[in-house]
Amino acid sequence: MPNKIGYYGEWGGAFIPEVLHETFREFNQAFGAVRHDPTFWAEYCDLMSTYSCRPTPLTHAENMSKKLGGAQIFIKREDLNHTGAHKANNVMGQGLLVRRMGKKRVIAETGAGQHGVATATMAAKFGFACTIYMGEEDVNRQRPNVFWMEKLGAEVVPVTSGSKTLKDAINAAFRDWVTNMDSTHYVMGTVCGPHPFPELVAWFQSIIGIEARKQIVTQFGKAPSRVYACVGGGSNAMGIFQGFLDQPAVELVGVEAGGDGLTTGRHAARLAATDASAGVAQGYKTMFLQDSDGQMQDTHSVAAGLDYVGVSPILVDLWQQGRVRFEAATDREVMAALDETVKNEGIIPALESSHAFVQAYKEAGQLKPDEAIIINMSGRGDKDIFTIANAFQDPSWKRFIIEKGKEYAAQK
Amino acid sequence: MRLKNNLAEALRHKDILLMTHIVLGYPSFEANREVVAQMVESGVDLIEMQIPFSEPMADGPVIIKANQDSLARGTKVRQCLEFAAEMIATHAIPFLFMTYYNILFKYGEEEFFADAAAIGIQGFIIPDLPPEEGGAFLERAKKYDIAPILIFAPTSTDERMRVLAAAADGFIYCVARRGVTGSQTSFDEAFYQYIARCRECAGLPLAVGFGICDRQDVDAIRGRAEIAVIGSEMIRLVDEKGASAVGPFISGLR
């Protein structure tokens, strides 16, 4: 697919400071070696089936299918991974790679905290030292994940520069790496950043699509008509899409964060809206939400995991080729789809994943009952109880927190 | 070639040159104006002017904050070019732009080169643009005679240094240590060996930067490299003591 090393069409590349040149040379070499070593993939699959819950099931959402009266809706259950999301696929894979490279310390950026928790879990299992960079604002918003990262033995460093969110955490992780590259591997959380990260992360995440392609044929007898996935950086989408890229009849739909709406300026839709433009930052070339001077802009989404200025170069190329269609779901639509899924199916999608549900529910009725669609449920929502309860403005939850606050205050 | 020739001329009179760093629009263009005047009066030989960027990946806390504050005050690329034009018209020393690649990319690389050349900028330092990604950039640098300053790091192999040196012009920016700008560097035996390697692999003058703060540091470089770069320390000084402290500080460095 890449025409120049690390390029997808005109997107991608490796815009890295010179001090990391040698580190990337070694990293590319190590990745090249495992990529062509079938025992590595076998080791990876074995780890994911014993430490996590792979293969994850494909669930037929019968009630929602009936209710919407169109296509049969299937849900790929990445929520049933260890640590509750598809993030584990990438992180455990990179953990095996780090072990082969002989490094002893891992660092990572995290937005909502999912990738941080997954990385801290991997570090605990493999015995690596671990530092997680997290925007100060996210540290304040995502205390439960910070709690678990610290319990897992990671050091969580709040990042106070820039907008104090995910992109600033990425910058901070790079700054650590340029200082400690000999001992340390940077476990990038998504299919973004300088080559070979997009290719590496997409490779580990392809396990989702490999499974889903087989499962839908076994359970439904044929390929799906459409596949839906939410897109922040794009790793869960790339994961499932890769299972169907060579089947042109399967339409692939990426759903971005529409935030308050695409015309409000408060969203994180790079491809579904017209606000983004080509740029180079954070080590790669992609479509960024930036101003006319090239300064990155603030983004907004109810789902912290989709709240990012850039998007995978691989997905931008697939979008340009017309292979992947991009849509956006607003915060309000997301809460409604989440509510409906919980009540009708007894399944709690993460706020990020709920974006994919929104678009699938909008379109299911256009298709016939003898067709299938797949929604990639990238993560589970119940562990984000603080965020989701807050987004629902649930009154009894608020009372509980107030009471708990009083109790803690009295203990001081 | 212009920058290289200008440096060769300056080196006929001095055994070590000083290059200083400012972040445009921080704390303000007015302050920049006074700081540059003091730098030139006290004998600074060339100045790198950083156009602020929202994602300054290779910089440390002092320069990150300066980038951020400048942007928060509304600094635009256009204003940076206007200010640079004024400085170049006022002072006789070479001026360079330091920034990240997205600033050029978004402005239009060709337009940026043309506009920078028109005002007399003599070099570009773009830390996130390795030569592998900068084919067109390097060609334009030749066309407009704006020196592409490439960076050596202690992690660079000899082979890599030779590749970089072949593409570079003006001088080589030797990063004294790993890490980002603004923290301390120890000038020890390993450092001297590294600089000796840089010398062997490059036919251009060497500038040493990252963590240079006083006369002792400048003395450690004298005789081994041609240019000492004072970056974060300049910004720290202006933050703490104001623009008027710049002249005396520079005069005390060599």
CATH number at residue A175: 3.40.50.1100
Query: For A55-64, A278-287, B228-237, which range has the lowest pLDDT when averaged over its residues?
Result: B228-237
What is the reported pLDDT for A3?
53
What confidence tens digit (pLDDT) does each residue in A363-373 have? Answer: 999 999 999 99
Are both A308 and A211 inside the same structural domain? yes
Domain of residue A134, residue span: 7-49+85-197
Which of A176, A197, A218 represents a domain boundary (last residue)?
A: A197
Contacts of B58 in chain A (CB under 8 A): 17, 175, 178
Does the residue A215 lie in any domain? yes
Interface probe for A, chosen from B24, B50, B51, B57 (most Cβ of A below 10 Å), is B57
Q: What is the mean pLDDT of residues A390-398?
A: 92
Note whether A217 contacts B: Cβ–Cβ < 8 A. Answer: no
The string of DSSP letters for A180-194 reads: HTTTEEE---SS-SS
What confidence tens digit (pLDDT) does each residue in A192-208 have? Answer: 999 999 999 999 999 99
Q: How confident is the model at residue B39 (pLDDT cuts 50, 70, 90)?
A: very high
Does the residue A379 lie in any domain? yes
For the stretch B231-242, what's the b/e string if a residue is b when 16 or more beta carbons lie within 10 angstroms of its beta carbon?
Answer: bbbbbebbeeee
Are both A283 and A299 inside the same structural domain? yes
pTM above 0.80, yes or no: yes
Question: Active site residue: A87, A164, A167, A285, which one?
Answer: A87
Please say if the pLDDT value at position A261 is more than 80: yes
Are both A95 and A15 inside the same structural domain? yes
What confidence tens digit (pLDDT) does each residue in A207-246 have? Answer: 999 999 999 999 999 999 999 999 999 999 999 999 999 9
Which residues 256-315 in chain A show a CB within 8 A of chain B? Answer: 277-283, 290, 292-296
Do strands B172-175 and B147-152 pair parallel, antiparallel, or not at all (unpaired)?
parallel
**Token couple for A347:** 């399944």
Looking at beta carbons, which pairs linking B186-189 to residues 24 or more positions away fall under 8 Å? B187/B217, B187/B220, B187/B221
Are both A270 and A178 inside the same structural domain? no
CB atoms within 10 A of CB A409: 8
Are both A73 and A219 inside the same structural domain? yes
Give the Cα separation of A305 and A308 in Å (integer). Answer: 8
Which of A138, A162, A197 represents a domain boundary (last residue)?
A: A197
Question: Active site residue: A225, A235, A378, A383, which one?
Answer: A378
Give the Cα separation of A267 and A302 in Å (integer). Answer: 9
**Token couple for A140:** 């304040």
- In Å, what is the CA distance from A49 to each residue of A52, A87, A112, B29? 6, 15, 26, 60
> Count of domains in chain A?
2
Closest by Cβ to A295, choosing from B53, B133, B157: B53
Which residue in A244, A205, A239 sits closest to A373, CA to CA?
Answer: A244
Instruction: Supply the mean pLDDT for chain B.
Output: 95
Q: What is the mean pLDDT of residues A7-24?
A: 96
Q: What is the mean pLDDT of residues B143-169?
A: 97
Give the Cα separation of B221 and B228 in Å (integer). Answer: 7
Please say if the pLDDT value at position B47 is more than 60: yes
Give the Cα separation of B146 and B123 in Å (integer). Answer: 5
Percent over 90 (pLDDT), chain A: 92
Contacts of B180 in chain A (CB under 8 A): 175, 178-179
Are both A269 and A337 inside the same structural domain? yes
The string of DSSP letters for B80-147 reads: HHHHHHHHHHH--S-EEEE--HHHHHHH-HHHHHHHHHHHT--EEE-TT--TTT-HHHHHHHHHHT-E
The CATH number of residue B151's host domain is 3.20.20.70
What confidence tens digit (pLDDT) does each residue in B170-218 have? Answer: 999 999 888 877 677 778 888 999 999 999 999 999 999 988 889 999 9
Q: What is the mean pLDDT of residues A266-294?
A: 97
Domain of residue B210, residue span: 2-251
What confidence tens digit (pLDDT) does each residue in A109-149 have? Answer: 998 899 999 999 999 999 999 999 999 988 987 889 999 99
Are both A130 and A267 inside the same structural domain? no
Does the residue A404 lie in any domain? no
Among chain A residues, the shortest Cα distance to B54 is held by: A295
Q: How confident is the model at residue A1 (pLDDT cuts 50, 70, 90)?
A: very low
Q: What is the mean pLDDT of residues A10-30?
A: 96
Does the residue A410 lie in any domain? no
What number is the ipTM of this complex? 0.95
Q: How confident is the model at residue A309 (pLDDT cuts 50, 70, 90)?
A: very high
Are both A189 and A213 inside the same structural domain? no
CB contact under 8 A, B60 and A17: no
The tally of CA atoms less than 13 A away on the side-chain side of residue B222 is 12
CA angle A406, A407, A409 (to 5 degrees): 60
Does the residue A221 lie in any domain? yes
Which residue in A18, A260, A5, A345 sits closest to B57, CA to CA?
Answer: A18
What confidence tens digit (pLDDT) does each residue in A72-105 have? Answer: 999 999 999 999 999 999 999 999 999 999 999 9
CB contact under 8 A, B133 and A13: yes
Closest by Cβ to A18, choosing from B76, B105, B156: B156
* Residue A354 annotated among the catalytic residues of the structure: no
The number of helices, as runs of H, and strands, as runs of E, in chain B is: 12, 8
Percent over 70 (pLDDT), chain A: 99
Are both A333 and A297 inside the same structural domain? yes
Residue A18 identity: E
CB contact under 8 A, B105 and A279: yes
CB contact under 8 A, A281 and B132: no
Are both A289 and A220 inside the same structural domain? yes
Are both A36 and A137 inside the same structural domain? yes
Please say if the pLDDT value at position A2 is more than 50: no
Closest by Cβ to B68, choosing from A22, A162, A281: A162
Interface probe for B, chosen from A7, A19, A171, A182 (most Cβ of B below 10 Å), is A19
Which of A197, A226, A248 represents a domain boundary (last residue)?
A: A197
Q: How confident is the model at residue A44 (pLDDT cuts 50, 70, 90)?
A: very high
Note whether A4 contacts B: Cβ–Cβ < 8 A. Answer: no
* B181 in Cβ contact with B229 (< 8 Å): no
Do strands A226-230 and A372-377 pair parallel, antiparallel, or not at all (unpaired)?
parallel
What is the reported pLDDT for A405?
95
**Token couple for A281:** 């930052």
- In Å, what is the CA distance from B123 to each residue of A342, B89, B119? 60, 16, 12
Burial class (CB in 10 A: 0-12, 13-18, 19+), A175: buried
CB contact under 8 A, B128 and A175: no
Contacts of B163 in chain A (CB under 8 A): none
Contacts of B130 in chain A (CB under 8 A): 14-16, 18, 21
Q: Which residues are CB-neighbours of A198 under 8 A, at least 6 positions away?
A: A6, A8, A12, A191, A192, A284, A312, A313, A314
Are both A96 and A76 inside the same structural domain? no
> Count of domains in chain B?
1
Q: How confident is the model at residue A177 (pLDDT cuts 50, 70, 90)?
A: very high
Give the Cα separation of A254 and A274 in Å (integer). Answer: 15
Query: For A152-166, A314-328, B22-36, B137-151, which range has the lowest pLDDT when averaged over its residues?
Result: A152-166
Give the Cα separation of B92 and A285 in Å (integer). Answer: 37
Does the residue A397 lie in any domain? no
